[in-house]
């Protein structure tokens, strides 16, 4: 149990570094440096990295170790379509109370107030996490967190157009309004459209591999 807790802490530490932009695409993850920083052995770090590899967030490269996987158009399509479908299902099977709605509005204000791309991406992901956080299936929520962790690198590298975020603002507001009106099916459809909008934007900026 202790090994599992340490592994999970290492995994979250690495994901946080990714969200903060400290780990870049193609960059090798230095096991020794992580071990020194967290004061743990290399074993739980390898276990955490293996989990991230299974989630397609990183990959093992001979003679280099674990690196952040490079972007490709085909993976982007698979990722965004899967997240869209899973989030749509999660939202359709969620119940929201007044407190949940107020938290969504608060997070939307955080998203709108973000001053730099990295903060905006993380605020957007937190908005999506709150949207699906009431879904009772823990496994699905964990899978979504892993998928979003990989999607983060696509958005950090390619989401530079400010006009996109105006559209995202409008879609977020429409999703919240539909939830307030107890029209969750419409909110779920709008949510899926939101992901498809991003996928279309991303694919235009990625060459076929």
pLDDT value at position 175? 96
Which is higher by pLDDT, 21 or 37? Answer: 37
Number of domains in the chain: 2
Whether residue 77 is found in the same domain as residue 161 = yes
Last residue of a domain, one of 19, 49, 68: 68
Whether residue 63 is found in the same domain as residue 83 = no
* DSSP H helices in the chain: 2-19, 31-38, 42-54, 73-92, 98-113, 117-132, 138-158, 162-180, 184-204
CB atoms within 10 A of CB 177: 14
Q: Which domain holds residue 44?
A: 2-68
Q: Is there a domain that residue 209 lies in? A: no
Whether residue 55 is found in the same domain as residue 85 = no
Look at residue 146 and tell me whether its pLDDT is greater than 80.
yes
CATH label of the domain that carries residue 122: 1.20.120.530
**pTM for the model:** 0.85
Whether residue 110 is found in the same domain as residue 52 = no
Average pLDDT for 71-98: 95
CATH label of the domain that carries residue 30: 1.10.10.10
Look at residue 163 and tell me whether its pLDDT is greater than 70.
no
Average pLDDT for 57-75: 89
Distance of CA 3 to the CA centre of its chain: 26
pLDDT tens sequence across 96-141: 999 999 999 999 999 999 888 888 899 999 999 999 999 999 999 9
């Amino acid at each position: 149990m202790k090994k599992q807790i340490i592994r999970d802490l290492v995994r979250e530490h690495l994901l946080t570094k990714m969200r903060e932009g400290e780990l870049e695409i193609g960059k090798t993850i230095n096991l020794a440096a992580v071990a020194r920083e967290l004061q743990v052995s290399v074993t739980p770090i390898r276990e955490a990295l293996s989990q991230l590899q299974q989630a397609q967030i990183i990959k093992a490269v001979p003679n280099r170790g674990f690196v952040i996987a490079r972007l490709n158009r085909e993976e982007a399509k698979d990722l965004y379509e899967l997240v869209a479908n899973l989030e749509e299902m999660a939202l359709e099977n969620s119940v929201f109370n007044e407190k949940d709605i107020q938290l969504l509005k608060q997070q939307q204000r955080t998203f709108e107030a973000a001053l730099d791309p990295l903060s905006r991406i993380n605020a957007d992901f937190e908005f999506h996490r709150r949207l699906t956080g009431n879904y009772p299936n823990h496994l699905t929520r964990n899978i979504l967190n892993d998928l979003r962790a990989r999607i983060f690198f696509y958005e950090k590298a390619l989401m530079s157009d400010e006009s996109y975020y105006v559209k995202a603002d409008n879609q977020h507001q429409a999703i919240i309004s539909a939830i307030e009106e107890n029209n969750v099916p419409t909110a779920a459809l709008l949510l899926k459209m939101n992901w498809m909008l991003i996928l279309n934007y991303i694919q235009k900026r990625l060459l076929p591999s």
